[in-house]
Homo-oligomer: A and B are copies of this chain.
Amino acid sequence: MSPTLPDMICFALYSANQAMQRVYAPLLQKLGLTYPQYLVMLSLWQADGQTVGDLGRALGLESNTVTPLLKRMEAQGLVARSRDGADERQVRVALTDHGRGLQDQVQPLTACIIEACGMPPAEIAELRDRITALRDRLRQAG
């Protein structure tokens, strides 16, 4: 007997991530962002001018995913990409005024998500920490 789908933590993560993205998607769409684009923006609002590699490390993605993602974001006027002067191998990603301006508009999102989670913020934070700890163990195993 193989285990049941609902019994598996891999499916719990798969379907919870799915559900989370489905809550975010319609809210982000109003700002013209997809979910992965939102994650990139979060990272850039934190530290503007990161390289493609920096962003990849922050998101856990390789250039084969990040580069096309950033190209679409550049086409939408969210970021600008340019080779680093000191090291021409690296590409720096800078927020445009529009991209920077979106930060104010995502402010109300946080409350929506907390509401959707249906549990007190402290409990969310505790669950987040345990999920993060699991992730780090899985990364180490890989």
Which residues in window 89-109 of A have CB below 8 A to B? 103, 106-107
Contact A3 B42 (CB under 8 A): yes
**Which of the segments A6-14, A66-74, A76-84 contacts the partner chain?**
A6-14
Query: Is A17 in contact with chain B by the CB < 8 A criterion?
Result: yes
Contact A42 B141 (CB under 8 A): no
Contacts of A110 in B (CB 8 A): 3
Label chain A's interface by main secondary structure.
helix
- Min C-beta distance of A110 to chain B, whole Å: 7
Further pairs besides A5-B43, A22-B139: 9, Cβ < 8 Å: A2-B42, A2-B106, A5-B39, A15-B135, A16-B135, A16-B138, A18-B135, A23-B138, A127-B130
Checking B15, B20, B137 against A10 with a beta-carbon cut-off of 8 angstroms, the contacting residue is B20
Query: Is A31 in contact with chain B by the CB < 8 A criterion?
Result: no
Contact A116 B138 (CB under 8 A): yes
A27-B28 Cα distance, complex, nearest whole Å:
35
Contact B124 A137 (CB under 8 A): no
A137-B117 Cα distance, complex, nearest whole Å:
6
Contact A11 B23 (CB under 8 A): no
